[in-house]
């Protein structure tokens, strides 16, 4: 016997606020085309508006580490209990039987809290988790084991989600399907991969109807912007990157399909004239890109667009001039390092001359460019880093901004350096930030020093202090304290945490870590004093800080 199944799709904090969440618009459009009723909830945007005390955590991207800190998020949740309950009220009021959460590294902890509250309110609800955080290499298996999660959708979710809804609608219940991880008989079962959507042109135009009022009233940071997910995957397989593994194979919409989406969205939302291509790269298929540009030029539409790109010889002076004429205003290039040797070691193969010519040609075409830089990639030497400094000085006249990675170089789960650390001379690969290579020369404090040296040069060269380029990282001493704490160097960790309390913020996480370090250093009296101070009022007596790197 069939029954009506209503789906709720939820985006929890933390996430960007430039425009409505694209994943929800894509999934809702697909499910609605297949005949299901859907309600979308951007709790991320609502949470930011309803929690004035924490608003800076959304507004200042330099506080990105806040969203990966469990104890700080527990404080956010504790301080906003009524707000969270109001979100649960809104979701349950729509009559949904299935609630799906789009999760990322920064959003899965709050998603779990909302899911727990939903289950407490109505244990019969089916809770699904999906998104990048649900890949097998990230947290797909442990998330599927959570009592409040009924199943995890692995990889692209459209087809799997609809099959789940059909199974429930037809009375077959939640059952194992390809593309899922779920509990079966009390044990977590991986149901295998689902076949990829081969033709992205068959996907419906994303449906932003649940966000109409928010778009029209300008409740997002960029009220004139919408996103386009024009491709999935990447034509390159850089060793440090996990994104191409998530999508498994590169696929792109046709130029006609991308143009159709632009045209239809500006018809629905006349105030929108700005599109961001959120695929890994907008020039993975030069044929597609050129066809899109030709259609834009022929149409006469006055639309601005931008996105990430790779250094590709096919994107030459002629092509960049055409892109600019078609409305391209900005490109971000994943340069990562000025060392060709290091890039090739990371399977990122292009020459510095290729990159220089591309950046120069983009500048001459009137397209603003950004280069993305990482610090201390596995095997990076001091000479490699100095080549990055020289590369920055050379290309500075042709670029507008730099994205300086504030996590420096992360060992993502499932990447080559994390799976095969011996090939890269890596030690401590179990921690995504605090690993080392080059016999310990390239460790976390050294990567921090290189980041700061790079930022200093960038600012001297007139690069804007934005996108991670900072004179002072706002959580420097907390992060260094956590590093030394993990390394068992408790005296140095104490010095860093005390500086964090004086110079950064007096948060509970730092106080608790400081207490743990005092205990480990044989100072239980100090540990007790820290815990007694709670949120660390300014009256706490601090000893002179120990030397820190």
Q: What's the first-to-final CA gap in the chain, in angstroms?
A: 67
Counting every residue, how long is the chain? 549
Bridge partners (DSSP) listed for residue 126: 98
Q: Evaluate if residue 169 carries a pLDDT over 50.
A: yes
- What is the four-CA torsion angle of 343, 344, 349, 351, rounded to 10 degrees? 70
Residue 360 to residue 353: CA distance in whole angstroms: 10
Contact 337, 395 (CB under 8 A): no
Q: Domain 6-190: what homologous superfamily?
A: Response regulator (3.40.50.2300)
Q: Which of 13, 9, 149, 159 is nearest to 77 (CA)?
A: 13
Q: pTM for the full model?
A: 0.89
Residue 509 to residue 281: CA distance in whole angstroms: 37
62: tokens are 């330099």
Residue 294 to residue 358: CA distance in whole angstroms: 21
DSSP assignment letter at 380: -
Mean pLDDT of 192-214: 94
Residue 62's pLDDT band (cuts 50, 70, 90): low
Q: Domain 224-404: what homologous superfamily?
A: Aldolase class I (3.20.20.70)
pLDDT of residue 178: 95
List every span in the chain annotated with CATH 3.40.50.2300: 6-190
Residue carrying the six token digits 């034509």: 235
430-464 pLDDT per residue, tens: 898 999 999 999 999 999 999 999 999 999 999 99
List every span in the chain annotated with CATH 3.20.20.70: 224-404
Q: Evaluate if residue 548 carries a pLDDT over 60.
A: no
Determine which of 58-72, 356-370, 424-438, 515-529 has the lowest per-residue pLDDT on average. 58-72
pLDDT of residue 2: 58
117-162 pLDDT per residue, tens: 999 999 999 999 999 889 887 888 999 999 999 999 998 999 999 9
């Amino acid at each position: 016997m069939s029954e009506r199944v209503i789906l709720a799709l939820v985006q929890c904090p933390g996430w960007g606020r430039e425009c409505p969440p694209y994943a929800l618009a894509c999934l809702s459009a697909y499910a609605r085309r297949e005949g299901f009723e859907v309600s979308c909830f951007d709790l991320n945007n609502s949470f930011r508006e309803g929690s004035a005390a924490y608003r800076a955590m959304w507004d200042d991207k330099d506080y990105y580490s806040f969203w990966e800190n469990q104890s700080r998020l527990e404080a956010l949740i504790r301080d906003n209990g009524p707000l969270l309950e109001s979100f649960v009220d809104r979701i349950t009021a729509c009559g949904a039987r299935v609630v799906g959460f789009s999760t990322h590294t920064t959003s899965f902890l709050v998603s779990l809290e909302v899911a727990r509250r939903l289950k407490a309110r109505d244990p019969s609800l089916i809770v699904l988790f999906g998104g990048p955080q649900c890949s097998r290499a990230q947290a797909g298996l442990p998330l599927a084991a959570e009592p409040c999660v009924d199943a995890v959708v692995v990889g692209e979710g459209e087809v799997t989600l609809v099959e789940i809804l059909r199974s429930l609608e037809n009375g077959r219940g939640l059952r194992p399907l390809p593309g899922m991880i779920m509990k079966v008989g009390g044990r977590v079962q991986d149901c295998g991969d689902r076949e990829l959507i081969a033709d992205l042109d068959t996907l419906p135009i994303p449906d932003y109807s649940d966000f109409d009022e928010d778009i029209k009233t300008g409740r997002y940071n960029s009220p004139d912007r919408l996103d386009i997910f024009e491709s999935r995957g990447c034509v390159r397989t850089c060793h440090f990157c996990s994104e191409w593994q998530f999508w498994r194979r590169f696929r792109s919409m046709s130029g006609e399909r991308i143009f159709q989406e632009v045209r239809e969205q500006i018809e629905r939302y006349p105030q929108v004239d700005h599109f961001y291509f959120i695929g890994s790269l907008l020039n993975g298929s030069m044929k597609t890109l050129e066809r899109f540009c030709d259609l834009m030029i022929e149409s006469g539409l006055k639309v601005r667009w931008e996105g990430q790109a790779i250094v590709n010889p096919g994107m030459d002076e002629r092509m960049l001039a055409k892109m600019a004429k078609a409305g391209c205003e900005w490109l971000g290039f994943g340069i990562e390092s000025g060392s060709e040797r290091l890039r090739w070691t990371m399977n990122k193969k292009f020459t510095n001359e290729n990159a220089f010519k591309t950046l120069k040609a983009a500048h001459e075409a009137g397209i603003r460019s950004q280069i993305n830089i990482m610090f201390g990639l596995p095997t990076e030497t001091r000479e490699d880093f100095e080549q990055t400094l020289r590369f920055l000085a050379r290309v500075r006249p042709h670029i507008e901004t730099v994205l300086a990675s504030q996590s420096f170089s992360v060992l993502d789960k499932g990447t080559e350096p994390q799976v095969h650390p011996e090939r890269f001379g890596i030690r401590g690969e179990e921690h995504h930030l605090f690993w080392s290579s080059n016999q310990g020369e390239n460790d976390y404090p050294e990567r921090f020093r290189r980041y700061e040296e790079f930022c200093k040069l960038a600012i001297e060269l007139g690069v804007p202090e934005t996108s991670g380029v900072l004179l002072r990282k706002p959580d420097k001493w907390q992060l260094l304290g956590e590093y030394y704490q993990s390394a068992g160097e408790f005296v140095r960790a104490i010095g860093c945490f005390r500086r964090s309390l004086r110079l950064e913020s007096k948060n509970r996480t730092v106080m608790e870590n400081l207490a743990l370090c005092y205990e480990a250093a044989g100072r239980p009296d100090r540990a007790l004093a820290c815990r007694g101070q709670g949120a660390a009022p300014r009256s706490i007596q601090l000893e002179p800080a120990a030397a820190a790197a």
